[in-house]
Amino acid sequence: MSMSDEDKIIEEATSGEYKYGFVSNIDSELAQKGLTEETIRFISGKKNEPEWLLDWRLKAFKMWENMEEPEWAHISYPKPEFQDIIYYAAPKPKKEYESLDEVDPEILKTFEKLGVPINEQKALAGVAVDVVMDSVSVATTFKEKLSELGIIFCSFSEAVKNHPDLVKKYVGSVVPQADNFYSALNSAVFSDGSFCYIPKGVKCPMELSTYFRINEANTGQFERTLIIAEEGSYVSYLEGCTAPQRDENQLHAAVVEIVAMKDAEVKYSTVQNWYPGDKKGRGGIYNFVTKRGLCAEENSKISWTQVETGSAVTWKYPSCILKGDNSVGEFFSVAVTNNMQQADTGTKMIHIGKNTKSTIVSKGISAGKSQNSYRGLVKIGKGAVGSRNFSQCDSLLIGDRCGAHTFPYIECNNKSAKIEHEATTSKIGEDQLFYCNQRGIKTDKAIGLIVNGFCKNVMDNLPMEFAIEAKKLLEISLEGSVG
Amino acid sequence: MATITLTDKDRFLINQEGQDFSHEAKTFIKIRELALKNLKGLDFPTRKLEDWKYTNLREVSKTEFRPQTAVNIIEEKIKAHKIPNLDAYVLVFVNGFFAPKFSNTVEEKDGDFIVTNLNKAKKDFIKLVEPHLGFQTRAKDQFFVNLNSAFSQDGGFIYVKSKAVLDKPVHIINLVDGDLVASYPRNLIVAEKSAKAKVVVSYETIDSNSALSNVINEVVVAEGANVILDKIQNENSNTYHIGADFATQQKDSIFTINTIPANAKLIRNNLNIVINGTNSVANLYGAICLNGDIHVDNQTFVDHAKPNCESNELYKTVVNDSATSIFNGKIYVNQIAQKTNAFQSNANILLSDDARANSKPQLEIYADDVKCSHGCTIGQFDNEALFYLKSRGIREEVAQKVLLDAFIGEVLDNIEEEPVRKYVDQLIADNFNSKN
């Protein structure tokens, strides 16, 4: 194939636009614009929160006022105007369609490709759904089953009402209020989120997902998730969904905290596909997330898997604090950026306990004019005898106007630790493309195939159904919305 | 009345004043004036700056270092710092000032090359110095680069004519003698089209007094030229060494720098290499073997500005006692620098409980048709290898030395001159043995 043909296909492949647009809203109960103590009291009051939580929020707000926005990340964007944001809105009714026929056929096509069941398609596209909608009833059955086992899985607000002791004990224990600018902001104004508690010795029989609560609550832009896994328990938690999510808020500053006790294992998987802005970089979501897990006791394990394809700007470092002896932290990530998207993402592995192990596998794919950075920290403390880390971060470049960057920090204070880090950057091999073409696979399909091969060892860590959808999502992100 | 309080920087700068540079040509005075102006807006770098995250210079800013001329330098003292059996042109600088008595210069106007001190060259070879001096060091935000630009006393000047080869290596010996000496040696190496030069620069101290060495090496590598620079840093354990090396390469050129930080209290090296011509190769090697409580911070920056170039970077570190090693390698690939091959590797071995190693191998890539990789490891000597040697009757200390030689040897093999290699081997062995 001639070079110009290939260029054209790459051009096509990387110039896809996100066609979902936004749906206008009918505003309901809103807080005053801007952020003051009053706003926080308003939010807290609306949610009937106990006094201690209000104080907690106010404390965070005081800290936030004295903090500055971080600027070290390899991203540039107009700073959000924090006094211009409405920090509380009751769940906004979305504009609803009468039937799927009214929905943009392109979206339906995407759903079809992703294999989203028809009722879920309706929910995602904003079609009015019956009360008996499958996923809702399924969710209810699930809830019953879970409560039999003693598992608590509910919204954060419910947890504050029904399990205040647990919330009080653990909220802010992994990500303190003053951890960083955005976590402080989140702590002050968080709207809602998920709460999950797995009692001692219980293996959660199904993947827990915010997906099942999709119609229950609009968790909003300042989401807060808290997962507690007691001794010997296991849970796999899914966040987000592969289908494009409509969202009206530009700034997303979520906080996720995980605590894993002795012998407990938590698996946290994310697929993020928020609006990335248009081809010229206008609009799009700012995704500034603080995610951290604490392996509090021995033999615990926390595993992060993420597939990031959306958002205009991503700033996200799911981390593990390996405090318990023999604890294990894992981070598997695929980050795809296209058009003008920017991603600065990676992880932190803080080894404190003896014989702690961590694995980092990060795959970055940049196309269009996007910038994709891996930023990670591996820190071995003095007491972390016999610790082990393996990191691999590979970048794939598609087109000559994108950037791929790596900023790994490695700090070792212990002579018995072993750390390995390797990174490569390359473009899609012409020979690989040629091989596929030769066997009758069109170039755009071939790119999808190669990219999926490139990401395979991350995708393998996703729960099954999720993985299949995510694979398709990768292809779509790179092919453009048409696919 | 408002009182004027002097900051540490102000006091430090006042201490550096008092040198008279008025005899210099206007063009060189301008460089100093500009640097002084830049210094006004700068301060000692603090750990809040990303580039100085791991290195604290508080003590430097609080100590009364000042430029001093050396007294009573005798040949005996100098001799000890020559590299045995190295047939070279030797330039000796003490406290940053030229010591002609102990140096052999080559200054023939029609010769193939010039080896002399920079102050002389600024007068006699102004046409050769002017286009290059200070050209690469104009960064406004670098405190120590500007400090050297403002106060540099003297340094080596090596100029190799087009198509000429420097027949012997040049050995520039920088010595420090006296208490709380601040010295600012600055070397300028210019290799014209297709020229070849080998330069060894060593930094050593005569006594054990505290000192500050703020050094700069500027290297100009023209089309098809080949320059090899070996940097040996072996000062006493009370000396702060803050150095910066600059090289700009034109097409088809090769530049190699071997950095061997052996001793000091604190060593900071900033390597800035701009590959500004196609088909060029840059090699950066570092052999770092540390003991005591030395703190060594190596920062390298390779700017791939043109296509079809290659850079190889290999830094190997052995850290003993309570020493600290920092490596920050940055490779920047410009959007037009297609077909770049950039390799970077940093391997660390920690031998004691208090030893520390921090590493940050960084890639910034804006071109797609590139092959860039970096790797970093931190670990120990392979226990099985040790056991193998021990089981064959080799004592543990000896076995460790064998493994050390093999580990560091991979880097040292890039030193071409046999006497230099031997000298460095000895330094590293001494460092290693002083512990065992």
Q: Which two tokens mark A139?
A: 């969710």
The mean pLDDT value of chain B amounts to 92
pLDDT at A218 over 60: no
Q: Given a cut of 80, is residue A167 above it in pLDDT?
A: yes
Q: Give me chain A's average pLDDT, please.
A: 80
More confident residue, A385 or A310: A385
Nearest residue on chain A to B49, alpha-carbon basis = A72
Q: How many helices (H) and strands (E) does chain A have?
A: 13, 20
Pick the residue from chain A with its C-alpha nearest to B334: A403
**B137 found inside a domain:** yes
Chain A hits for B304, Cβ within 8 Å: none
Q: Which residues of A touch B368 (CB under 8 A)?
A: 397-400, 402, 427
Nearest to A400 among B352, B359, B368 (CB): B368
CB contact under 8 A, B372 and A413: no
Q: Which residues does chain A have within 8 Å of residue B376's beta carbon, measured at their own beta carbons?
A: 408, 410, 419-422
| Nearest-Cα residue of chain B relative to residue A367 | B368
> Do residue B364 and residue A405 have CB atoms under 8 angstroms apart?
yes
Angle at A303 between CA B362 and CA A337, to 5 degrees: 50
Residue B425 maps to a domain: no
CA-nearest residue of chain A to B320? A415
Q: Let me know if residue B390 belongs to a domain.
A: no
Residue A318 has pLDDT above 80, yes or no: yes
What is the percentage of chain B residues whose pLDDT exceeds 70?
99
Residue B365 has its nearest CB partner, among A403, A413, A422, at A403
Average pLDDT of the residues in B241-267: 96
Q: Which of B335, B371, B373 sits opposite A401 (nearest CB)?
A: B335
pLDDT tens for each residue of A319-352: 999 999 999 999 999 999 988 889 999 999 999 9
Whether the pLDDT of residue B26 is over 80: the answer is yes
Is residue B372's pLDDT more than 70?
yes
CA distance B206 to B178: 8
pLDDT at position B349 is 93
Over residues A31-49, the mean pLDDT reads 83
Say whether A405 and B363 touch across the interface (CB within 8 A).
yes
- For the segment B16-25, the average pLDDT, to the nearest whole number, is 89
Q: Residue A32 — very low, low, confident or very high, per pLDDT cuts 50/70/90?
A: low
ipTM: 0.84
Say what the pLDDT of residue B368 is.
84
Position A210 pLDDT exceeds 70: no
CA separation, residue A443 to residues A2, A9, A451, A458, B158 (Å) = 12, 7, 12, 23, 55
User: Which percentage of chain B shows pLDDT scores above 90?
Assistant: 81
Q: Which tens digits make up the pLDDT trace of A186-200? A: 999 887 788 999 999
pLDDT tens, residue by residue, B292-343: 999 999 999 999 999 999 999 999 999 999 999 999 999 999 999 999 999 9
Closest CA in chain B for residue A409: B360
| Residue A7 in contact with partner chain B when CB distance is under 8 A | no
Do B356 and A413 count as a contact with CB atoms less than 8 A apart? yes
Interface probe, candidates B48, B49, B365, chain A, greatest A C-beta count within 10 A: B365
Between residues A339 and B394, which one has the greater pLDDT? B394
According to the model, what pLDDT value does residue A131 have?
30
Average pLDDT over residues B176-201: 95
**Interchain CB distance below 8 Å, A422 and B371:** no
Question: Å from A44 to nearest chain B CA?
Answer: 37
Query: Cα–Cα–Cα angle for A156, A157, A161, nearest 5°?
Result: 115
**Mean pLDDT across the stretch A275-281?**
77
CB contact under 8 A, A408 and B370: no
Of the candidates B360, B362, B379, the beta carbon closest to that of A419 is on B379
Q: Take residue A402 and report the two structure tokens written for it.
A: 């994108």
Q: Is the pLDDT of residue A251 over 50?
A: yes
Instruction: Please report the DSSP string for A10-54 in residue order.
Output: HHHHH----------B---SBPPBS--HHHHHHHHHHTT--HHHH
| Residue A411 forms contact with B (CB below 8 Å) | yes
Amino acid A6: pLDDT: 58
Quick one: pLDDT at residue B233? 96
Closest-CA residue of chain A to B352: A415
Are A400 and B367 inside 8 Å of each other by CB?
A: yes
Could you report the per-residue pLDDT of A426-440, keeping only the tens digit for each?
A: 888 788 889 999 999
Q: Residue A14 — very low, low, confident or very high, per pLDDT cuts 50/70/90?
A: low
Answer yes or no: do B350 and A412 touch at CB < 8 A.
yes
Burial class (CB in 10 A: 0-12, 13-18, 19+), B49: exposed
Are the beta carbons of B175 and B69 closer than 8 angstroms? no
pLDDT over 60 at B63, yes or no: yes
Is B396 within the bounds of a domain?
no
Domain ranges of chain A: 3-479
Q: Do B361 and A417 touch (CB under 8 A)?
A: no
Looking at chain A, how many residues does it have? 483
Which of A247-261, B6-20, B171-185 has the lowest average pLDDT? A247-261
Judged by CB atoms closer than 8 Å, whether chains meet at A406 and B361 is answered as yes
Interface touch B372/A425, C-beta < 8 Å: yes
A103 touches chain B (CB under 8 A): no
**B55 lies in which domain range?**
18-379
For B141, which DSSP code?
T
pLDDT-derived band at A482 (thresholds 50, 70, 90) equals very low
Any domain includes B402: no
Interchain contact A162–B (C-beta under 8 A): no
Residue B175: which H helix or E strand, with range? strand B170-176
Interface of A with B in 38-77 (CB under 8 A): 72, 74
Q: What is the pTM of this model?
A: 0.85
- Helices and strands: H and E segment counts in chain B: 10, 20
Average pLDDT over residues B7-28: 90
Specify if B389 maps to a domain: no
Nearest CA in chain B to A373: B364
Amino acid in position A141:
T
Q: What is the distance between the alpha carbons of residues A316 and A238, in angstroms, rounded to a whole number?
A: 17
**Do residue B368 and residue A424 have CB atoms under 8 angstroms apart?**
no
Contacts of A414 in chain B (CB under 8 A): 350, 353
Please tell me if residue A402 touches chain B, with a CB cutoff of 8 Å. Answer: yes
- Residue B286 Cα, gap to closest chain A Cα (Å): 18
* Gap between the Cα atoms of B123 and B120, Å rounded: 5
Q: What are phi and psi of B52, to 5 degrees?
A: -120, 20
Chain B environment of A382 (Cβ under 8 Å): 353
Residue B123 lies in a domain: yes
CB contact under 8 A, B352 and A415: yes
Least confident stretch, A147-151, A271-275, B97-101: A271-275
Structural element, H or E, at residue A156 = helix A156-162
B353·A415 Cβ contact <8 A: yes
In chain B, the residue whose alpha carbon lies closest to the alpha carbon of A394 is B373
In this structure, is residue B224 part of a structural domain?
A: yes
Query: Given pLDDT bands bounded at 50, 70 and 90, which one contains residue A215?
Result: very low
Predicted pLDDT of residue B244:
96
- C-beta separation of B260 from B296 below 8 A: no
A406 neighbourhood in chain B, CB within 8 Å: 361-363, 374
**Partner residue facing B377 (CB), from A402, A411, A420:** A420
- pLDDT tens digits, one per residue of A369-425: 899 999 999 999 999 999 999 999 999 888 888 889 999 999 999 889 999 998 888
Q: Considering only CB atoms, which chain A residues are within 8 Å of B375?
A: 420-423
Q: Residue B395 class from Cβ within 10 Å (0-12 exposed, 13-18 middle, 19+ buried)?
A: exposed
**What tokens were used for B155?**
């340094």
The alpha carbon of residue B395 is apart from the nearest alpha carbon of chain A, in Å, by 21
C-alpha span between A439 and A86 (Å, rounded): 55
Which of A42-56, A67-81, A185-199, B289-303 reaches the highest mean pLDDT?
Answer: B289-303
Q: So what's the pLDDT on residue B54? A: 92
Radius of gyration over every alpha carbon of chain B, rounded to an integer in angstroms:
21
Output the pLDDT for position A165.
Answer: 93
pLDDT of residue A11: 57
Count of structural domains, chain B: 1
Structure tokens at B290: 């540390």
